[in-house]
Chain A
Amino acid sequence: MTVATFDSANLNVGQKLAVKYFTAAIVLFVAQILFGLLAGLQFVMPEFLYNVLDFNVNRMVHINAMIVWMLFGFIGSVYWLVEDEAGVPLVGAKLANLSFWVLTAAVTVVVLVYLFVQIGPGTMASIWFINEGREYIEAPRWADIGIVICVLIFFYNVAATFMKGKWSGISGVLVLDLVALAGLYLAGMFYTSNISMDQHWWWWVIHLWVEATWEVLVGCIMAWGLMKTLGARRSVVTTWLYIEVALMFGSGILGLGHHYFWIGTPEYWFTIGGFFSALEPIPLVAMVVHAVYDSGVHRFKNANHPALAWLIAHAFGNFFGAGVWGFMHTLPQINLYTHGTQWTASHGHLAFFGAYATIIIAVMYMAVQKWRGGVWMSAGLPGNGWKWKWSLGLLHVGIIGMTMALLIAGYEQSFVERAMEGSTWGAYFSAQTAPWFIQAMHWRMLFGVVMAFGTVLLVWDLATIGRGETRRAIDPEVHGDEVPAAA
């Protein structure tokens, strides 16, 4: 086994596949940041790329790149852990490999069509081949079908591997969660002329993915990650995972109702949606307690410092971004004023980054460690590990700065557009031209650039960390309580 160079001989079959998914995910992450910068710039300079690459195109690529890189990151993470957790080689590896290339090719075609065709006439052909025009699930219908097929193959690989090998609490939750995740996507695959019906089912996909099944999926990854980095006991992380599932689905399934306040749906959703969505932060608190407590118990002795740092960043980012920022405007009395303002953008930015980007980055750090042959990644890295520390810092300063800027813009919109001026187009523009809003858009741009620097550093670090390292990683499951000898 070669130490310290990327050598796929260090990886099992599932993991070889995982690093492909991670590589594609990183490319899409960079695309997300680039198109975010373009869209952000258009708020400050509206003439920029007008009629060439308009805001709607940039924003669509920005959010779609995000959804897809996160899906790639999740699929990669699951392939990464599946053999380890099941104790047998991946079932259907050839099919899985083919599916990766098909999916990646499909994503490439979709993005090229978004960029170069952009829009079509108001016919079903446009919806099938260009752009479905529904936020987050813009992918044309042909691609939807392709995605479903690829996800089914992924599901087959994972479920069949566990069936052949052994089941665990983590894998049981994971497989059931994947069934729900794949099934829910179907709710977004139809056309209706009724906008209320359209939005009703659209939220089944968006909410029940992001606020339910994705959360449980990252719960599984977290449980596994804490065992691998800290050597946390399986019985402890499994119990926490069950607690999180009970609380997450207990609050999140009916929490769907907080999207049903204003789209034509009945008034009983005020009570149901308001109440259950207000409970949604509770499992996220549980996750923080769980991650921090386990780290403390193990005195932060761990096999992979960057990975653990990103896992803890996930616990806090999920709690603040999804939990606190979501809670702030989830009650209908407040949401009446904040719905459809930059307040939502503020929440969206912090939540997606805090809850999902972080944990995928954590698994990527675990992946590069093993890919290089299980090298040392604890204290005393060359240069004191400045690259991973600075990238973590810059990405967080960037996202928190953007979140705050957007929150101020959202407050201003809620006051001026909604509370004071009566929600007309005149009121909308009056809020858009207020100095507080304009300043906020400049600050958002600045922090976006900070985030871009953090991203560059992150990519550089993932590509180079552990290169030429001669020390072996500590095995947290064996030496979790020992002081590492080599440093």
Chain B
Amino acid sequence: MNDVPWWAGQDLWRKMAIWVTAFMAVVLIFLTFDTVKQITAGGKRVPAYSVINNKIFYKFNAERNMQEPVIGGEAPLFGQVLNEEEAQALVSLGKMTVQAKNCMNCHTLLGNGAYYAPDLTKAWLDPGWGAESVREQLMLAFLQDPEANARTYGTNRKMPQLGITEEEARGVVAFLKWMSSIDTNGFPRGFTPIKQEEAS
């Protein structure tokens, strides 16, 4: 049984397995340090939470050949300017509500989740809210009573009653607004945002 060619030897492949795994793990760790730095809130790709004080546009960038969020002028959510700490607290309440209400097992966030209900990545910018002026109120009303405010677009699929309080609903809207400002490399593609006036 010594006719095994060198390239089929057990010893060679054991070493290969170890070295390849170790090398790839080290590369991943290095990349992870960089990625974590770039996706920490407050950076270029993932803006600070206080971005909810501003307009958020979604525009085509010819150089990157993709759409990207553009932060506009002041447009405080619910008419209240928040500092970074307050903004994070509100977004965090929203994120925690999104988790506790198990939103991700119907919706997708950043494209991940379930496919029973629409993606929430750009929910804040969706033209389905009609006019910019009524968006915030419509969102609050919908989240608190999704059955009465159901819009099923002919599918009969309705969001269930999740017992979301007004405070939680405000948090969810803040979370959605903040999420829409994340640079998702052009996902979802070819998105048509709601019409928004450029702030002065």
A contacts, CB < 8 Å to B: 39, 42-43, 46-47, 50-51, 54-57, 59-60, 118-124, 126-127, 130-135, 138, 169, 173, 191, 193-200, 202, 235, 238-239, 242-243, 245-246, 249-250, 253-254, 256, 260-270, 272, 336-337, 339-342, 344-345, 418-419, 422-426, 428-430, 432-433
Contact = CB atoms under 8 A, between A and B. Distances in A.
B104 A135 contact: yes
Given A60-B105, A260-B35, A429 B155 contact: yes
A246 B20 contact: yes
B17 A426 contact: no
The residue among B9, B34, B101 with the most chain A CB atoms within 10 A of its own CB is B101
11 contacts: A42-B116, A56-B116, A59-B116, A118-B102, A119-B162, A133-B99, A238-B10, A250-B24, A264-B46, A264-B182, A428-B118
Interface in B1-20: 1, 8-10, 13-14, 16-17, 20
Binding site of A, secondary structure by majority: helix, strand, loop or mixed?
A: helix
Contact of A196 (B101, B110, B118, B123): B110
A245 B17 contact: yes
B154 A433 contact: yes
A286 to B, nearest CB: 11
B155 A432 contact: yes
B61 interface: no
Given A196-B182, A250-B20, A134 B104 contact: yes
A242 B10 contact: yes
B117 to A, nearest CB: 8
A269 B192 CA distance: 26
Nearest to A47: B156
Given A39-B116, A54-B160, 5 more contacts: A46-B157, A51-B161, A118-B102, A135-B113, A235-B10
Nearest 4 CB-CB pairs, A to B? A122-B97, A133-B99, A429-B153, A423-B188
B126 to A, nearest CB: 5
Interface string B161-176: 1111100100100010
B183 A337 contact: no
A200 B95 CA distance: 15
A196 B14 contact: no
Contacts of B114: 55-56, 59, 135
B21 A46 contact: no
Contacts of B97: 121-122
A345 B189 CA distance: 20
Nearest to B100: A126
B113 to A, nearest CB: 6
B119 A428 contact: yes
* Interface size, B (range): 35 or more
Contacts of B98: 122, 133
B102 A60 contact: yes
Interface in B91-137: 91-106, 108-116, 118-119, 122-123, 126-128
Given A195-B182, A422-B190, A119 B102 contact: yes
A119 to B, nearest CB: 5
Nearest to B21: A249
B96 A123 contact: yes
A131 B1 CA distance: 57
B185 interface: yes
Nearest to A437: B155
Contacts of A173: 17
A39 B164 CA distance: 23
B115 A341 contact: yes
B187 A194 contact: no
B71 interface: no
Contacts of B102: 56-57, 60, 118-119, 131, 133, 138
A126 B10 CA distance: 51
A169 B14 CA distance: 9
Nearest to B15: A242
B95 to A, nearest CB: 5
